[in-house]
Structure 1
Amino acid sequence: MADMKVQKIKLLKIWEILNWKSDEQHPLSTQDIIVELSKLGIKCDRRTIYGDIDAMQSNGYSILNRRRGHDMVYWVQERKFDLPELKIIMDAIQNSKFIPKDKTEELLNKIASLGGSESTHLLKRNAVSFNVVKHSNADIYRITECLERAIECEHRVTFRYFDLNASGERVYRHDNQLYKEEPLAMICDDGNYYLMCYHPEPEYENNVKVFRVDRIADISETDESVSKDAKKASKAITNYPKQVFKMYGGKIQKVRLSFDESLIGVMFNKFGEEISIRKSGARFTASVEVQISPTFWGWLTQFPNQMEIVSPVDVKEAYTTWVRSAIKQEE
């Protein structure tokens, strides 16, 4: 009976061994597989390994093989993620401020392991530790899970929201009372995670209020459905992130910018490659939708004498006023 049980799991263990330990540059021989199985208490010979792998190949398992000397060697070529894809994912995780440092390390190890033992070793050896300030909310996974579930089910959520004082201690807003919000979406911007909620009040531009996810505490999903207006707003939310500058609130307007040729790449990077850029004299122009906010002004100041607002006039004047005020504070 014990031998029968071992035989039932042998194919699974062969697949696991090949997935973890093999690739085209590091194939496993028949003897290698026998040794690995013996470590698991599974005894077999070359003949049964040939038959087992042939059966797996015949049933769609992507096991490749070639002859090396008098023996066959095997490896798994296709995986869910290639090495470059895993590297990109790991770099994105390292650059995410909202994931605490300890959870970043755990997550990187999990992602690296998806590529097999050799890829894991390579990815860890070549890992670069970014100089990223990590936030400390250890409940970030649970908060994210709750929000995703509430958004999917179109339910309202309750939570507390906090800032940090000079000592790094939590100071809860709203007199430590619960917020009750209608979640629309979560987006990642500049390494931070943000929750966008529907608010019909006129003080909230575009009927959207934004919360930092890592500043949320004591979150709960309710059984109360979001409003019809919130459901309608959620369908249009995909256009919002392109217009946001660092998630500051502000009215969304179409602005025509004039800029030097050297900033064409900057414009495409900020607003997307689908924007229309036209030559206008010695410069170039483009009309883009932005959220009018101090952060938009700050972005413009990076390019003195290289970029300017052409229209609307009121936006141009507001920017000029803001710059003058900033200069006056420095005097």
Structure 2
Amino acid sequence: MAGTKNRARLLHLIDLFHMETDEEHFLSLKEIQERLVDELRESVSLRALADDIEFLRERQRVIEATVAHGEKRYSMPRSDFEVHELRLLVDAIASARSITPSQTQRLIRKIQSLTSRYMGKKLENQIYLDGRVKEPNERLKYYITDLHEAIATQSKVTFQYAKYTPTKKRKLVHDGQVYVVSPYGLIWSSDYYYLIGEHEQVGQIKSFRVDRMENVALTKEHFRRPSFNVSEYVNRNFNMYSGPVEYLEIEFDNQLVNVVIDRFGSSVRMMPAEHERFRVRVQAGVSDGLVRWLMTWGGDARVISPLSLVERMRQEAKKMMERYTE
């Protein structure tokens, strides 16, 4: 019985160090004694506590001792995470639209448990979102797990695809068609998960927003993954719209230098042009996503080539003008 009590005391002692101490917060033997008496409902001597702490230190429990005002005090500093690292995790979770509000709270509580209650309180204030709303899709976590398994086992998946109507109802597209896809990878882009894979019915590599999927299921049919670079695919496409890859030459006003570097990377070659402008030549997928990205910058961006894209931009500009003169 005595051995059982000692083991219980050691477990409570470890929990106490974990929750109540860190690099900035210490406990004296007297404070530890008072806490354990409250929890265990039995007396414990200071000598026994000192022996317990030494026992833990000998078994590589990182318990540090310091002396303040003539009194020895103890703490268990955190070695796994620093508070700024935990803050990065909390902010990423809080800002992710694909993680529901209830999941967000559960995950943040778990992250807080990785440190002391003092440090945990510093993680309670969440960042403010820029008008974005988290989607209450509880099924998403299961879909992501299933899709990761399908990618790892090279198993084809099936699902239906849904979009919102103007009345805010989710409606299956293409009369509820069941998509069959060989999944190559999952990516995180613009706050959403996307599945990249070959759409069997059309024989093309496509991207699908996971939060718009319905009835995701793994099949028993396997596929052989071709040599395919998911990162390269993502970098060449805009807003996850796929299209034929072509060489583009685009002219930008100098004020968009940072925008161009953010999009194409610091290695992009920028050539000076007249009238406070510069040109870039890049490879990218020509799609609606590219057109809309270019339209974002209005007259501060101009396509030089290919001519087919120049014409497409003209038609889009004409369409916009007509909308404003109706």
**TM-score band w.r.t. shorter chain:** 0.7 to 0.9
One-letter identity of the residue aligned with 1:27: F
Q: 2:268 aligns with which of 272, 275, 283?
A: 275
Shift of 1:67: 0.9
Q: Give TM-score scaled by structure 1 length.
A: 0.86
Letter in 2 for 1:213: V
2:297 is equivalent to residue 300 of structure 1: no
Letter of the structure 2 residue corresponding to residue 13 of structure 1: H
Q: Equivalents in 1 of 2:19, 2:248: separation in Å?
A: 53
* Secondary structure of the corresponding residue to residue 77 of structure 1: coil
Following superposition, the deviation at residue 23 of structure 1 comes to 1.6
* Amino acid corresponding to residue 34 of structure 2 in structure 1: V
Secondary structure at 1:301's aligned position in 2? helix
Could you tell me whether the CA contact under 8 Å between 1:137 and 1:215 is conserved in 2? no
Deviations 1:5-64 (A, max 9, x none): 232344443333222221222222223333333344275333333333334334433332
**1:34 matched residue in structure 2:** 33
Q: Residues 72 and 173 of structure 1: is their aligned pair in 2 closer, same or farther, counting only changes over 3 Å?
A: same
For residues 220 and 285 of structure 1, the distance between their equivalents in structure 2, rounded to whole angstroms, comes to 46
CA RMSD of aligned residues (A): 2.6
What is the letter of the counterpart of residue 224 of structure 1?
A: E
Map of 1:68-83 to 2, 5 A cutoff? 68-83=68-83
CA deviation vs aligned residue, 1:76-120 (integer Å, no higher than 9, x gap): 333433222222222222222222222222223222332321122
Q: Map residues 247-326 of structure 1 onto 2, 5 A cutoff.
A: 247-280=240-273, 282-326=276-320
Q: List runs of 5+ in structure 1 lacking aligned partners.
A: none
Matched-pair contact (CA < 8 Å) for 1:256–1:286: yes
Q: Which runs of 5+ in 2 are unaligned?
A: none
Q: Which range moves more in the overlay, 52-61 or 14-23?
A: 52-61
Instruction: Calculate percent identity across the aligned residue pairs.
Output: 25
* Range 185-194 or range 282-291, more displaced: 282-291
Contact kept, 8 Å, 2:180 with 2:200, in 1: the verdict is no
Q: CA separation in 1, counterparts of 2:57 and 2:35?
A: 20
Identify the residue that residue 230 of structure 2 maps to in structure 1: 237
Asked if residue 222 in structure 1 is aligned to residue 219 in structure 2, the reply is: yes
**Deviation string, structure 1 residues 298-325 (Cα, Å, up to 9, x no partner):** 2223323433223333323322232222
Contact in 1 for aligned 2:158/2:180 (Cα 8 Å): yes
SS at match of 2:123: helix
1:228-257 Cα distance to aligned partner (Å, 9 max, x none): 2xx115x41121222232222322333233
Looking at structure 2, the residues matched to 77 and 243 of structure 1 have their Cα atoms a distance apart, in angstroms, of: 46
Separation in 2, partners of 1:85, 1:254: 40
Aligned residues: 322
Contact 1:250 1:292 in 2 (8 A): yes
1:1-80 correspondence to structure 2 within 5 Å? 1=1, 3-41=2-40, 44-80=44-80
Secondary structure of 1:72's partner? strand
Specify the alignment match of 2:92 in structure 1: 92
Tell me if structure 1 keeps the 8 A contact 2:23–2:78. no
TM-score (norm 2): 0.87
- After superposition, the C-alpha distances for 1:164-190 in whole angstroms (9 at most, x for unaligned) are 334433322343353322111111111
- Give the corresponding residue for 2:123: 123
Q: Deviation at 1:147?
A: 1.0
Trace 1:77-226 onto structure 2 (pairs within 5 A): 77-124=77-124, 126-130=125-129, 131-199=131-199, 207-226=204-223
- Report SS of the residue matched to 2:280: strand
In 2, the alpha carbon distance for the partners of 1:97 and 1:192 equals 7
